[in-house]
Amino acid sequence: MRNPVAMITGASRGIGRGIAIELARHGYDIIGTATRLTPEDRERGLFEVRERVDEFGVRFVPLAGDIGETADRNRLVEEAFAAFGHVDLLVNNAGVGLLQRLDILETTEESFDRLIRINLKGPFFLTQAIANRMIGQVKAGTSYVPAIVFITSISSNTASPNRAEYCVSKAGLSMAAQTFAVRLAEFGINVYDVRPGIIATDMTAPVTEKYDKLIAEGVLLQKRWGTPEDVGKAVAGLAKGYFQYSTGAVIEVGGGFSVLRL
C-alpha cells in the first residue's frame, strides 16, 4: 500500500518544518514548498528538512514558488500532482509577518495588500485548486480520505492594534477554513483550523523579550513558549484521523491562551 502524501506550504523553517518532520515520522511522503530552493544549503531550508525527512524512509519533494502569485501557485499544483499523482493532506502553513509594526491608524495599503496576498489570497486559491483534485480522488476511490489543514493563529480572534493587517489576514483564513469545511463535507473531506499561539520561530524572535514577559506574567496557562513540534503533533493527530468526526474544528495550540479567567 502506498504512503499518504502531504503537501505543506512554507515547509523550509519554523512551524512548516516541524509539521513536515512530524508527518514524515508517521509515514507521510512530503511535498514541501518555499519561495526559493537552495540545494547548496544543508543547514537551513528545504534541503535541511529533506535530510531530516529522509531519516524516516519516506520521500520528500522540494518545490519553489510564491503562493501569493497566480502563476507560481498554479505551477506548484501541477508539480505536486506530477510528483505523486495525488495529495492526501494539504497543510496551508505559508505566511509572513509584518515588515514593520505600525499602529492601526498608520497602517499602509502596501503592508495590508502584502499580508492579504500571501496569508489569505494565496492559501484560499491554492486550497480551491487542490480541493477540486481531491474531489476527483474521492470519486475515483482513494486509498486515503483527503483532508485540509489551515495553520492560522490566535490572532484570528485576538486583536493587536499594532499589527492589524496580520490579524485581519488570519481572521480571513479562519473563515476560509470554515467555508471550505462546509463545502467539502459532502465529499468526506475534512477541513481544520489549527491556531498556534506564541511559538518560538524566526518570526517571533524579534519580540522574544515581550513574550517572555507576558508568559512570566501568566498570559498562558502553560508557562512556556510553544514549539513547531507542538504544532506538528497537532497536525499529525488530525492527519491520522483521530478527529474524523470533527470537520471544521478549531484546534488551538497555545498553552491555554484562550481560556477565559477571572
Q: Report the amino acid identity of residue 2.
A: R
With a CB cutoff of 8 Å and minimum separation 6, the contacts of 119 are 95, 96, 166, 169, 170, 173
Does residue 262 form part of some domain? no
Q: Report the amino acid identity of residue 200.
A: A
Does residue 258 form part of some domain? no
Question: What is residue 252's predicted lDDT score, i.e. its pLDDT?
Answer: 98
Does residue 101 form part of some domain? yes
Question: What is residue 44's predicted lDDT score, i.e. its pLDDT?
Answer: 87
Q: For residues 85 and 78, what is the distance between their CA atoms, to the nearest angstrom? A: 10
Compute the Cα dihedral for 74, 134, 87, 34 and give only its sign.
Answer: positive
Question: What is residue 8's predicted lDDT score, i.e. its pLDDT?
Answer: 98
Q: What share of the chain is helix, strand, coil (3-state, %, to 5)?
A: 45, 15, 40
pLDDT, average across residues 239-248: 97
Confidence class of residue 96 from pLDDT cuts 50, 70 and 90?
Answer: very high
The terminus-to-terminus CA distance of the chain in angstroms comes to 52
Confidence class of residue 7 from pLDDT cuts 50, 70 and 90?
Answer: very high
Does residue 159 form part of some domain? yes
pLDDT at 15 over 90: yes
Mean pLDDT for the chain?
96
Q: Identify the CATH number of the domain in which residue 181 sits.
A: 3.40.50.720
Q: How many domains does the chain have?
A: 1
Residue 120 DSSP class: I
Does residue 151 form part of some domain? yes
CB 131 within 8 A of CB 180: yes
Compute the Cα dihedral for 241, 243, 246, 247 and give only its sign.
Answer: negative
Range in 62-71, 179-188, 200-209 the model is least confident about: 200-209
% of the chain at pLDDT higher than 70: 100
Give the residue carrying C-alpha cell 496557562.
221
How many of the other CB atoms lie within 10 Å of CB of 143?
A: 11
Which has more confidence, 4 or 43?
Answer: 4
pLDDT, average across residues 108-117: 98
pLDDT at 228 over 90: yes
Question: What is residue 37's predicted lDDT score, i.e. its pLDDT?
Answer: 87
Host domain of residue 106: 5-253
3 dihedral zone (left: phi>0; alpha: psi -120 to 50; beta):
beta
pLDDT, average across residues 232-249: 97
Does residue 260 form part of some domain? no
Does residue 53 form part of some domain? yes
pLDDT, average across residues 247-257: 98
In the residue annotation, 166 being an active-site residue is answered as yes
Confidence class of residue 35 from pLDDT cuts 50, 70 and 90?
Answer: very high
The CA-based diameter of the chain, rounded to the nearest angstrom, is: 56
Confidence class of residue 50 from pLDDT cuts 50, 70 and 90?
Answer: very high
Question: What is residue 91's predicted lDDT score, i.e. its pLDDT?
Answer: 98
CA–CA distances in Å: residue 38 to residues 8, 52, 53, 94, 139? 17, 16, 17, 17, 38
Q: For residues 86 and 169, what is the distance between their CA atoms, to the nearest angstrom? A: 29
Does residue 119 form part of some domain? yes
What is the model's pTM?
0.96
With a CB cutoff of 8 Å and minimum separation 6, the contacts of 251 are 192, 193, 194, 195, 234, 238, 243
CA–CA distances in Å: residue 201 to residues 113, 157, 206, 227? 24, 21, 10, 8
Task: Write out pLDDT tens, residues 121-140.
Answer: 999 999 999 999 999 999 99
Question: What is residue 40's predicted lDDT score, i.e. its pLDDT?
Answer: 81
Give the E-state strand segments of the chain in sequence order. Answer: 5-8, 29-34, 60-64, 89-92, 147-151, 190-196, 250-253
Question: What is residue 38's predicted lDDT score, i.e. its pLDDT?
Answer: 86
28, 144, 166, 192: the active-site residue? 166
Question: What is residue 250's predicted lDDT score, i.e. its pLDDT?
Answer: 98
